[in-house]
Structure 1
Amino acid sequence: MVSQSRPLASPGTHCEVRSCARPYASATVGVMSAVIEVRTYRAKPSMRAPLLDLLASRAFPLQRELGMRILGPLPSQEDDVTFVWLRGFRDEASRAPLRAAFYEGTDWLGGLEAKIMPMLDSYAAVVVQDTAGLWPRWPA
């Protein structure tokens, strides 16, 4: 497992990424499984609603256009800053190039990053294998 913590825009913020993804051959269908990032975000106070709007209107559509599948966002019922969203990839091999296409693209670097990152207090992502076979049933 790979675990990293990175500072965000200001002291006291962090990012943790854990990756346990490995190619997985499903015993039932004999194909490589999809991988899913389970992403948990904490917005800065009073920033969750505008952050969710920006993700839903700009970031998620761009990622879907590239071939990623997005489920969420799913706001926490326990507080007003946390939310979860899932980002799926057909397989582990497609994950790095699709992420690079988004994070190195003109939309992200040309302003979206500068709008989203200041709204975040922290975020964490865990990469899991789609052993349940969600990919074929996941809305594109």
Structure 2
Amino acid sequence: MTGVIEIRSYELKANAQAAFETLFIEEVTPLLAAWGHRIVFAGRSLHGDDSFVLIRAYDSEDHRRASQDSFYASDEWRSGPREALLSMIDRFTSSVLPIADEALALWQAELSEASNANGRR
């Protein structure tokens, strides 16, 4: 079966990475998971000190849109970590790509292993 992944790359404001990462890992990731988002990876990007990457997987593009629409409209997000998180972001981009389930499973395992080896979350 083929689903989609979204790769969201954040460029953060200067010196915001540590606070952003803590907030994202401790508050945003559990909130996304509670809303049914499948987190493939969330952590620092290797390319810069003020960058962060979120990779999520969905069953389809329709599933991605519906999941994100409901999450980002929720009171939990809007009255929760939203403002603090947005205050640390300079800009972000998202790319959505198709991916086979088998490839996703392998990629997720590799990302997890590499993150652990590099001391990243």
Bucket of the pairwise TM-score, normalised by the shorter protein: 0.7 to 0.9
User: Going by fraction, where is helix more abundant, 1 or 2?
Assistant: 2
Q: Which residue of structure 1 lines up, in the alignment, with residue 115 of structure 2?
A: none
After TM superposition, the structure 1 = structure 2 runs for residues 30-109 of structure 1, keeping only pairs within 5 Å, are: 31=1, 33-109=2-78
SS at match of 2:15: coil
Gaps of 5+ in 2: 110-121
Are the counterparts in 2 of residues 39 and 86 from structure 1 also a CA contact under 8 Å? yes
Query: Alignment length, in residue pairs?
Result: 108
Runs in 1 of length 4+ with deviation above 2 angstroms?
71-74, 76-79, 131-139
Write out per-residue CA displacement over residues 85-114 of structure 1, whole angstroms, 9 at most, x where no aligned residue: 201112222112211221011111113221
Measured in 1, the distance between the counterparts of 2:41 and 2:100 equals 20
TM-score (norm 2): 0.77
The one-letter code matched in structure 1 to 2:84 is K
Percent identity for Structure 1 against Structure 2: 25
Change (3 A) 1:134 1:60: farther
1:25 equivalent in structure 2: none
TM-score for the superposition, normalised by structure 1 = 0.68
Deviation at 1:135, TM superposition (A): 4.7
- Aligned equivalent of 1:3: none
CA distance in structure 2 between the aligned counterparts of 1:60 and 1:104, rounded to whole angstroms: 16
Q: State which of 39, 62, 82 in structure 2 corresponds to 1:113.
A: 82
Larger radius of gyration: 1
Equivalent position of 1:126 in the other structure: 95
